[in-house]
Amino acid sequence: MPPATSLRQLARATGIPSDTLQALNPVLVRGVTPPGASWQLSIPRDRRDRVLAALAPRPPTRLAQRRASAPERVGAPSRASIAAAVHVVRSNDTVTAIARRYGVSITDLVRWNGLDVPDRIHPGDRLRVADLR
């Protein structure tokens, strides 16, 4: 599986119940494959073709082709990119685990968030996990 693949979205695309995918892959507590590396996922044997079809690259749509040929816009980041660049700390999260999850260095994560003591994060804290420059 590609990095950061949602089991819920995969279930929807393949017709496999999400409970079944979660039961076959109990190590994926958050229901998402780890970011940054591919992952071997357990799936029902009879659904292999559906999973491969769901993961196959799709031809670009007309809108995607138009966006690809449009000039790049320079300016403030969009709301979607900002939302995607923020992690809300959950209990038992650590700076190291969050950095690993988003594929960033601990040093950058600490710097972007102005953390004096990297281990002093609390559930509900919002951490910047990408450089939006």
Express each pLDDT in 36-83 by its tens digit.
Answer: 778 888 999 898 888 888 877 766 666 555 555 655 555 444 544 444
Do 16 and 51 lie in a common domain? Answer: yes
- In a domain, residue 117? The reply is yes
Q: By CB neighbour count within 10 A (0-12 exposed, 13-18 middle, 19+ buried), where does 115 fall?
A: middle
Q: Does 133 reside within a domain?
A: no
Residue 42 lies in a domain: yes
The number of folded domains in the chain is 2
In a domain, 64, yes or no: no
11 and 49 part of one domain: yes
Question: Tens digits of per-residue pLDDT, 78-119?
Answer: 544 444 578 888 888 888 898 888 888 888 888 888 887 766
Residue 74 forms part of a structural domain: no
Task: Establish if 107 belongs to a structural domain.
Answer: yes
Q: DSSP string covering 42-105, please?
A: ---GGGHHHHHHHHSPPPPPHHHHHHHHSPPP-SSPPHHHHHHTEEE--TT--HHHHHHHHT--
Q: Is residue 71 part of a domain?
A: no
CATH number at residue 117: 3.10.350.10
Q: Please check whether residues 49 and 83 belong to one and the same domain.
A: no
Provide the domain limits for residue 106: 79-128
46 and 84 share one domain: no
Give a yes or no: residue 124 inside a domain: yes
Read off the pTM. Answer: 0.45
